[in-house]
Amino acid sequence: MDMQLTGKTAVVTGASRGIGLATVSALIGEGMRVVAAARTITPELKETGAVPVAVDLSTPDGPSRLIEHAVAEFGGLDVLVNNVGGGDTPGQASGFLSLTDRQWSEMVELNFLAAVRASRAAMPHLVERRGAIVTVSSNGARIPQSGPIAYTTAKAALTAFGKALAEEFGPQGVRVNTVSPGPVRTALWEGPGSYGAELASSMGLSHEDLLAGLPAGAGMLTGRLVEPEEVATLITYLASPLAASITGADHLVDAGSVKTV
Active site residues: 151
Nearest to 22 by CA among 5, 44, 38: 44
Neighbours of 200 (CB within 10 A): 21
Pairing between β-strand 51-54 and β-strand 79-82 as defined by DSSP bridges: unpaired
| Residue 146: CB atoms within 10 Å | 17
CA–CA separation, 85 and 65 (whole Å): 18
CB 253 within 8 A of CB 135: no
34: Cβ contacts below 8 Å, ≥ 6 apart: 9, 10, 11, 12, 24, 27, 28, 48, 49, 50, 51
